[in-house]
Structure 1
Amino acid sequence: MQKLPSHVEYVIIGGGIIGLSIAYHLTQLGHSDVLLLERDQLTSGTTWHAAGLVTQLRANENMAKLAQYSAELFQDLEKLTGQATGFRQSGSVTVAATPTRLEELKRSASMGRSFRLDVEMIEAAEVKRRIPLLDVSDILGAAWIASDGMTNPIDTARAFAVGARHGGATILEQTPVTRIIIGNGQFTGIETARGTLRAEKAVICTGIWSRGIGADLNWTIPVHAAEHFYVVTESIPNLPEALPTVRDMDARFYVKADAGKLLVGFFESDAKPWGMEGIASDFSFHFLPEDFDHIEPYLSAAIERMPALADVGLQLNFNGPESFTPDNRFLLGPAPEITGLYTATGFNSCGIESSGGAGRVIAEWMSTGEPANDFWGMDVRRAMPFQRNRRYLHDRTVEAVGSLWELKYPHKAAKTARNVRLSPLHNRLAQAGANFGEVAGWERAQWFGVPGSPKSSHGTFGRDDWFKLSGEEHRATRSGVTLFDQTSFAHLLVQGKDALAFLQRLSTNDVDAPLGRIVHTPWLNKRGGIESDVTIARTGEEEFLVVTSASQCIRDLAWLKMHARGAGHVSIADVSSGYATLSVMGPRSRDLLKRLSPADFSNEAFPFATSREIEVGYGLALAFRMTLVGELGWELHTPVEQALGIYDALVVAGQDFDLRHAGYVALESLRLEGGYRKWGSDLGDEDTPPQSGLGFRIAWNKGSDFIGRAALETQRGRAPRRRLVQLAAPLAAPLMFGTEPVWRNGTLVGYLRSAAFGHTVGCGIGMGFLHSDTGVSAEWLSTGEFEIEIAGERYAAMGTLGSLFDANRTRVKGEYQNIDDLIHPTLRAAIAKT
């Protein structure tokens, strides 16, 4: 047996297809000092029993790129390594038997075009021509992707192994890792059953075992195994080997040709979590017990769609574990507070088709210390500490398997493992008719219905009750006063005599503001990309309160702590649990607050971007004069124990002002009208402030340097070739939700990153990065003919570098005029024609 080295640069823990892909890609980057450790044999965990489908359409651009790269790599991997992979591009068909599913497929096809993936909508007759075995009598349409296909998981993993070894990597089987060694927040080495070694960096690719490995390090890697089922038929005479993969997502099954047989797999709505009490380290190449009763309804649905299945016996009834995450997204990237340690896991039954892309991403990330693109949607740092709770993961996994194929309605939230993080106002909001969604475990009101009316966990694609109710909240915010519960905000306290210098180094804006001032600033990486976009209130000479979004808490906290090392006397604490946040917004917000507080809320005494401790009701609040909705308003950051009293006082006094509750759907449409950027939706870590329309938040002349400045210097004075643009489709009846392609003069130039219906401007609106080799400028926007594609149809659109509503922020200042006069003139003229 090959000897264990004493020191290596890179260690990969886990010999499934993901770990082997990372090893291969590290060697492709020129790293030969690479060691992969496998506890048993390569592929012995879950890779060996994967179905091997290769599907490229994903929920966002960078997830789609992973799958697209994998498909491209699989075509060449045999030639590159000499190891056969079994890859073939036979295409895939996803059928729709309901109007709603058909609309979703059309929207997905448009989204695919956004990501340069060719998705063709075909009719039932064409489905029948391509796959004669199908009953298409009730099919309304289908999505056809010619470049999809399938591969042999074990052979493809072997090809990665061969390529990695050719590049100098060492692969050791029968070498279980017994401990990951950490010292002073730094990964330093590995203990194995064969000895100990030192290493510079490591990545955990241990699939269904990852949660426990992370928990031992106080790191949340939220994955849980579920029993995952498929059957394989006996041989079928004259079965075409190139038969396209079939998916019927409403019936929750897929079918693929497999060596003259058919493999039928399932994504059942009532999954069976497995391994909650732990998974044995010697679980290798094992089957789980059959459960025909569990899969029988789904197999029956498959037989209805493909009647030939009724006439052939089953050779194999397979059940094996797969790992799933609470939100059905991968877990990639660095440990928040352990330098040099990464993970690549939680692939939700999509590991084979994503293996090439995921392997390249992690290899590049480990090599350079930064991701090559914005992978926030898959970043492990989105995971909250509570999400390693085993009961939570167990109960969410019941739903997670089936939710992969459920209709992707807007604002949809999970139904299981809820009520983990509750605002102190939760019961009051429920009584007021709140329909709750979930973000980072927080229960947040999406919109408010009639108290006692049935609740929904999502919207629809149409203008149903959710649309009407959130529209009323939107209009109430523009005309009167509304109350938003934003308790999910994260609050991070930065203190110490070096705190100012520390934050100046991180921030593009000038944080050296007087006591009581608020600074809104991006934090950048060395490339100039926006790592976060935060609000910083100076609450003392040596104290600052950083307010960020709920989902960014772990990431931003880790960013602060990482840069605080060696920064002098700086302390950082997450104080989020001590605060509740009530936002009072709208033209009458000042009048309402004056009823409850002796504070002076005038522009002179309380200007925009200032904070004051005020008396309100019987309590105290740190009041920020800030807004995300483009209206006069204040955020009241209150001690949690005082939130209910202050809320009740606001509601009672608000009766004289027609105070209305409002939720996050209205907040989204309001912010988009006003052109307010949102990190994680509109912005990411590959977007710079000049590209994002945030150049005004760069304090070029402040007396200290900041991270990313050198990269930004190259963009000064130029029209960026890619730029965040606000767009509107004044004639479009279908609603927009994001990812819709944007065309200029018939050429695809970008897509919407976020979108909503603007109830003030009266049409669909959104933001997206558009591209032009000559620069995205006001002239380029005014001289082109723009269209937005929604569910396969294109609608005339207009774009602006400013905002569509109240570009001069007059309402934020408490200045009011005819609301129609504040709508962008080009948009106003277009709407007038309709």
Structure 2
Amino acid sequence: MAEHARIVIVGGGLEGLAIAWSLALRGESDVVVLERNTMCSGMTGKSSGIVRCHYGVPSLAAMAWHGVQVFSDAEQILGTDIGFRQTGYIVGVGGNNTEPLLANVEMHRALGVPVDLIDADAVRAFWPGINLDDFAAFAYEPLGGHGDAYMTGMAYGTKARELGVTVRQSTEVTTLLTREDGSVYGVTLADGAEIHADTVVLATGVWSPALAATVGVDIPIKVQWEQLLLVDQGEPTPHVPTFSDLVNLQYIRREPNADLLVGNSDHSAPEFADPDNYLNRAGDAFVETAIGKLERLLPSMPDPRLASSYAGCYDITPDYNPIIGPSPVDGLFLAVGFSGHGYKISPAVGRLVADLILDGISSDSAVDGNDFRFSRFAEGKPLVSLNPYVGAGEMR
């Protein structure tokens, strides 16, 4: 006979485990997480782990603010170090983006996010040798920084299991099970076994469209290849805030070994990939472009060299914002399409999914669950920034 659980979560990465933990916190421990490899073995470990609240979508900013609060007290809440380092976060813009920056800062303050407008001299005090000639305005979040997505996801999984959740690794889901009326009632595993459930949560990131297609749900997700560099400046990078450069369209943060992690904020010409077969390092063209941007920003690096590079994939939606909510098919709940935002909002994602499954409504008045509905694309109502930045609207 098939096994049964009230909730089956497909995907044992960061979001799936955050959801499992949040459900268990609500007292719902009849939950099974199914992971085809090992916990957090997919794209979770590729995350650059930036923690910021600087969004033009109020719900996302509020979710990120909840994440900051959880990460700041992680050792008490999750019982372990998750690699979060509260270095601060700075975003800098040119003159064409000053008004959106000011509007976003006002909105963030209304949400309770600690954020200040600072001048170039203050930024230089944080970042010795930085070239700010092309910048016009800066916002500073003292509680922002960066964390480790793998460590965080594993911590979610540990707490979920302590609260009674079952996590099965090396357990691949091949199809979703449907009744004659089309509703989903469980999953089929690679060995032919079935697990039945009242609700199946799809949290499989870049692999979500293929599974959803087994029940006729077309999830509008593309797999975007993202490249990152690790740069040795020639001497150890001092402890500095994460810096989001919306002039050159990149972001930089200090690695634990004092190298610089350099990421991309220009999504105007995305490159798409097969999530099971992509180049796991930066391409030559990206290296040349990214290093050129970095040298304009930090022209005084003593003896820079490329230490290494790696790559991962975003599961992007048409509006670069996640889908969180019921699918068009009864019994199937979607938590997919995080488009690069997933780490910082993961505690709030878990809470929102638990709220929507158990209560049908968000418990946080600042987070409207309806914002992330699947149907918004068909309705022609994408979720977009209230104050978009020229050149960086996709991720802001």
TM over 0.5: yes
- Residue 383 (str. 1) matches residue 374 (str. 2): no
Does the residue aligned with 2:314 lie in a helix, a strand or coil? strand
**Structure 2: which amino acid aligns with 1:153?**
A
Which residues of 2 match residues 66-145 of structure 1 at below 5 A? Answer: 66-96=63-93, 98-145=94-141
Q: Which runs of 4+ in 1 moved over 4 A?
A: none
Note the C-alpha offset of 1:192.
Answer: 0.6
Q: Give CA deviations for 1:654-697 in whole Å, capped at 9, x if unaligned.
A: xxxxxxxxxxxxxxxxxxxxxxxxxxxxxxxxxxxxxxxxxxxx
Provide closer, same or farther for how the CA distance between residues 309 and 11 of structure 1 changes in structure 2, counting only shifts above 3 A. Answer: farther
How far off its partner does 1:236 sit?
5.2
- Which of 234, 237, 240 in structure 1 is aligned with 2:238? 240
Do the aligned partners of residues 37 and 296 (structure 1) sit closer, same or farther apart at CA in structure 2, a change above 3 Å counting?
same
**Cα separation, partners in 2 of 1:261 and 1:162, compared to 1, 3 Å:** same
The structure-2 alpha-carbon separation of the partners of 1:235 and 1:340, relative to structure 1 and needing over 3 Å to count, comes to same
Query: C-alpha deviations, 1:252-285, integer Å up to 9, x for none?
Result: 110000011110111233221123xxx54xx6xx
Cα distance in 1, alignment partners of residues 344 and 178 from structure 2 = 33
Q: What secondary structure is seen at the aligned counterpart in 2 of 1:85?
A: coil
Go from structure 1 to structure 2 and tell me whether the alpha carbon gap of 1:309 and 1:213 turns closer, same or farther (over 3 Å shift): farther
AA matched with 1:381: S
Q: 1:682 corresponds to which residue? A: none
Q: Distance in 1 between matches of 2:168 and 2:60?
A: 30
State the 1:71 CA deviation.
Answer: 1.2
Deviation at 1:359? Answer: 1.1
> Which residue of the partner structure matches residue 767 of structure 1?
none
- Whether 2:383 is the aligned partner of 1:354: answer no
- Between the aligned partners of 1:127 and 1:289, the Cα distance in structure 2 is 31
Deviation at 1:5, TM superposition (A): 7.5
Cα distance in 1, alignment partners of residues 72 and 306 from structure 2: 31
Q: Which residue of 2 aligns with 1:306?
A: 298
Give the direction of change, closer, same or farther, for the CA distance of 1:290–1:127 in structure 2 (3 Å limit): closer
Q: Is the 8 A contact 2:6 2:198 kept in 1?
A: yes
Letter in 2 for 1:182: T
**How many Å separate the matches in 2 of 1:310 and 1:343?**
48
Deviates more, 1:259-268 or 1:291-300: 291-300
Measure how far apart 1:370 and its partner are.
3.4
SS of the equivalent of 2:104 reads helix
Q: Does 1:151 align with 2:147?
A: yes
- The answer (yes or no) to whether the contact 1:175–1:193 under 8 Å persists in 2 is yes
Residue pairs, 1:282-431, within 5 angstroms: 287-288=279-280, 290-309=282-301, 311-336=303-328, 338-372=329-363, 373-384=367-378, 406-407=390-391
In structure 1, the partner of 2:42 is 45
CA contact (8 A) 2:237 2:259 kept: yes
Amino acid at match of 2:232: E
Tell me, yes or no, if the aligned pair for 2:322 and 2:339 is still in contact at 8 Å. yes
Partner of 2:269: 270
How far is the alpha carbon of 1:407 from its aligned partner?
4.8
SS of 1:332's equivalent?
strand
Q: Give the Cα separation in 1 of the matches to 2:330 and 2:280.
A: 37
Aligned to 2:197: 199
Q: Contact 1:57/1:117 (CA < 8 Å) preserved in 2?
A: no
1:204 and 1:312 map into 2 onto residues whose CA distance is: 43
Query: Residue 362 of structure 1 aligns to which amino acid in structure 2?
Result: V
Residues 16 and 43, structure 1, Cα contact 8 Å, conserved in 2: yes
State TM-score, norm by structure 2.
0.90
C-alpha distance in 2 between matches for 1:238 and 1:299? 18
| Structure with bigger gyration radius | 1
Matches within 5 A, 1:573-584: none
Letter of the 1:230 counterpart: L
Distance in 1 separating the partners of 2:11 and 2:39: 8
Letter of the 1:187 partner, please give it. V
Change (3 A) 1:236 1:358: farther
Distance 1:377 1:288, change over 3 A: same
**Is 1:209 matched with 2:200?**
no
Higher relative contact order (CA 8 A, sep 6+): 2
Contact persistence 1:329–1:377 (CA under 8 A): no
**1:174 equivalenced with 2:173 (yes/no):** no
The answer to whether the 8 A contact 1:334-1:381 is kept is no
Say if 1:331 and 1:379, in contact at 8 Å, map to a contact too: yes
Partners of 2:379 and 2:132 in 1: CA distance: 47
Q: Flag the 1:310–1:209 CA change in 2: closer, same or farther, 3 A.
A: farther
Q: What is the CA-CA distance between 1:287 and the residue it aligns to?
A: 4.8
Q: Which piece of structure 1 moves more, 10-19 or 293-302? A: 293-302
Report how far residue 208 of structure 1 moved.
0.6
- Name the CA distance, whole Å, in 1 between partners of 2:9 and 2:85: 29
Displacement of 1:294 in angstroms is 3.2
Check the 8 A contact 2:225/2:272 in 1, yes or no: yes
Deviation string for 1:314-373 (max 9, x for gaps)?
Answer: 11122222111111111110012x222101111111111111111110011112233435
Distance 1:351 1:236, change over 3 A: farther
The answer to whether the 8 Å contact 1:252/1:298 transfers is no
Q: Give the equivalent residue in structure 2 for 1:63.
A: 60
* Residue from 250, 254, 257 that aligns with 1:257: 254
SS class of match (1:35)? strand
**Residue type at the aligned position of 1:378:** F
Is the contact made by 2:249 and 2:392 (CA closer than 8 Å) also made in structure 1?
A: no
Quick one: which amino acid aligns to residue 197 of structure 2? A
Secondary structure, counterpart of 1:274 in structure 2: coil
1:750-788 Cα offsets, whole Å, 9 max, x none, are xxxxxxxxxxxxxxxxxxxxxxxxxxxxxxxxxxxxxxx
Tell me the number of residue pairs that the alignment of Structure 1 and Structure 2 aligns. 383
Structure 2 residue ranges without an equivalent (≥5):
none
Structure 2 contact 227–286 (Cα < 8 Å) conserved: no
**Match of 1:307, SS?**
coil
Q: Map 1:736-751 onto structure 2 (within 5 A).
A: none
> Normalised by the size of structure 1, how large is the TM-score?
0.44
Q: Identify if the C-alpha distance between structure 1 residues 28 and 127 changes in structure 2 by more than 3 Å, giving closer, same or farther.
A: same
Aligned residue for 1:223?
221
Equivalent residue for 1:437? none
Q: 1:109 to 1:385 in 2, by over 3 A?
A: closer
SS in 2 for 1:105: helix
Q: How far does residue 310 in structure 1 lie from its aligned partner after superposition?
A: 6.8
Letter aligned with residue 367 of structure 1: L
Question: Alpha-carbon deviations, 1:92-146, whole Å to 9, x = none?
Answer: 11112x3212222112211212322222111111111111131123432211111
User: Is the 1:92–1:246 contact (alpha carbons within 8 Å) kept by the matching residues of 2?
Assistant: yes
Asked if the contact 1:10/1:35 (under 8 Å) is kept, the reply is yes
For the pair 1:16 / 2:13, whether they are aligned, the reply is yes
Whole-angstrom distance in 2 between the partners of 1:170 and 1:308: 52
Counterpart CA distance in 2 for 1:351 and 1:287 is 22
2:168 is equivalent to residue 164 of structure 1: no
Cα distance in 1 between the residues matched to 2:61 and 2:189: 36
The correspondence of residues 679-828 of structure 1 with structure 2, limited to 5 A, is none
Percent identical residues = 27
Which residues of 2 match residues 372-771 of structure 1 at below 5 A?
372=363, 373-384=367-378, 406-407=390-391
CA distance in 2, matches of 1:75, 1:92: 14
Q: What's the offset of the Cα at 1:185?
A: 3.5
- Counterpart residue type for residue 99 of structure 1: G
- Taking the aligned partners of 1:162 and 1:133, their CA distance within structure 2 comes to 42
| C-alpha contact 1:233 1:315 (8 A) present in aligned 2 | yes
